[in-house]
Copies of this chain bind each other. A is one copy, B any other.
Amino acid sequence: MESRTELNSIGEFALIEHLTQYFSIQHESTLKGVGDDAAIIATGGMYDQVVTTDLLVEGVHFDLMYMPLKHLGYKAIAVNVSDICAMNATPKYITVSYAVSNRFSLEAMEELYAGMKLACERYNVDLIGGDSSSALQGLTISVTAIGEVLPEKVVTRDGAKVNDLLVVTGDLGAAYMGLQILEREKEVYKATPSIQPDLEGYEYLLQRQLKPEARMDAIEYLNDLKLVPTSMIDISDGLSSEILHICKQSQVGCDLYENKIPISPDLQRAAEEFNLDATTCALNGGEDYELLFTIAQSDYEKIKGSPHFTVIGHITEQHSGCRLITRGNEAIELKAQGWKSF
């Protein structure tokens, strides 16, 4: 009898690594294949190209009960632009494919595309192609984004060096808390449909979940500061997971300081209300689409005092491991699924 291994017994990253392990790279122009925020291609022109792709599946990545289609369209573009930014590159082109069931009307698809159009304008990307299909169930969106970057400016996940500083943009955990609020109101609505959802006072958290922005502005700040990070990644799966990616691929360790992690007052307040730990939201929440990067200590002066960047730790030798230094000055091993470790 044939053996059967369940897909959910393997992590997503391990699965992709497993399935693609025997594919070899044939073209010298493929500078980087699978395994970073985007692939890197040499074009023979002044710029290298970076290519990334993302799939958004209804019921897995979004819930149309509280996600307006226009926001979904915007987010589908923004999350791909975020991957381009994580390579220190500028997004230029995008393709969009969708598979959709007959539950959706033309008017619904127009809303989706209206959101995509807003994002294409916001990030200055050209929609250059796509495909469409019917589906037996639900809505699936596939987006591929292509950006460009000067070869000397491209930043990957594997360049962090011992003593580099660990830096993030913006604040973390808010998108996750926004999702908790939406899920709570969904439960209330399901129990009593006549009650209007109570979303007042949560605007910032909801916006972080429903309409995330790619930090293209941060890439421009870095460029203005003539600062090229040694490594970079975008924060889509929570700070812990992303730090671990950088450390694994750069073969280094790190010390992350809990009291340095930027938490918005809105998250702090809502976390107390929900009896959640704000740090845990930041470490494991995901969907913040901020940038995490490392810089040489000698570059510290360039970002010192900037409202856009926060130093949250530093890179150590690999044998020291990846550690969270708590407010109580305890060192805890960072885990990708950090909920369990608290």
Residues of A that sit less than 8 Å from B by CB: 2-10, 12, 15-16, 18-20, 22-23, 25-27, 29-30, 32-34, 38-39, 41, 43-47, 49, 51-55, 57-61, 92-93, 95, 97-100, 102, 104-107, 109-110, 113, 116-117, 120, 124-138, 140, 142, 144, 146
Residues of B within 8 A of A109 (CB): 7, 15, 19
Q: Are A30 and B136 in contact (CB under 8 A)?
A: no
Say yes or no: A126 contacts B26, CB within 8 Å. yes
* Contact status B45-A3, CB under 8 Å: no
28 A-B pairs (CB sep. < 8 Å)? A2-B107, A3-B107, A5-B107, A6-B102, A7-B104, A7-B106, A7-B134, A12-B132, A15-B132, A19-B113, A20-B113, A22-B117, A23-B126, A32-B128, A33-B129, A39-B95, A41-B93, A41-B146, A43-B47, A51-B129, A53-B97, A53-B131, A55-B97, A55-B132, A57-B140, A60-B133, A60-B136, A137-B137
CB atoms of A133 and B57 under 8 A apart = yes
User: Which residues does chain B contribute within 8 Å of A100, judged by CB atoms?
Assistant: 7
CB distance from A113 to the nearest CB of B (A): 4
Q: How far is the CA of A68 from the CA of B94 in the complex (A)?
A: 32
Contact among B53, B92, B105 with A29 in the assembled complex (CB-CB below 8 Å):
B92
- Complex CA gap A198/B128 in Å reads 45
Q: Is the CB of B120 within 8 A of A23?
A: yes
Q: Within the assembled complex, what's the spacing in Å between the Cα atoms of A133 and B16? A: 10
Which residues of B sit under 8 angstroms from A10, Cβ to Cβ?
A: 106
Tell me the smallest distance from the CB of A234 to a CB of chain B, in Å. Answer: 14
In the bound complex, CA of A4 to CA of B7 (Å): 39
Nearest 8 Cβ contacts at the A-B interface: A44-B45, A45-B45, A39-B128, A142-B142, A5-B106, A43-B43, A144-B144, A43-B45
Q: Say how far A332's CB is from chain B's closest CB, in angstroms.
A: 30
Q: Among A18, A93, A98, A131, which residue has the most Cβ atoms of chain B within 10 A?
A: A131
Closest CB in chain B relative to A185 CB, distance in Å: 22
Interchain CA distance A33-B8 in the complex, whole Å: 38
Question: Given A92-B27, A109-B19, A102–B136 Cβ distance below 8 Å?
Answer: no
Which of chain B's residues have a CB closer than 8 A to the CB of A113?
19-20
**Residue among A20, A47, A58, A130 with the highest chain B CB neighbour number at 10 A:** A130
| In the bound complex, CA of A43 to CA of B134 (Å) | 34
Q: B residues within 8 A CB of A15? A: 106, 109, 132
- Which residues on the B side are within 8 Å of A34 (C-beta)? 127-130
The closest CB in chain B to the CB of A33 belongs to: B128
Taking a contact as CB atoms under 8 Å apart, the answer to whether A25 and B126 are in contact is yes
Report chain B residues within 8 Å CB of A92: 27, 29
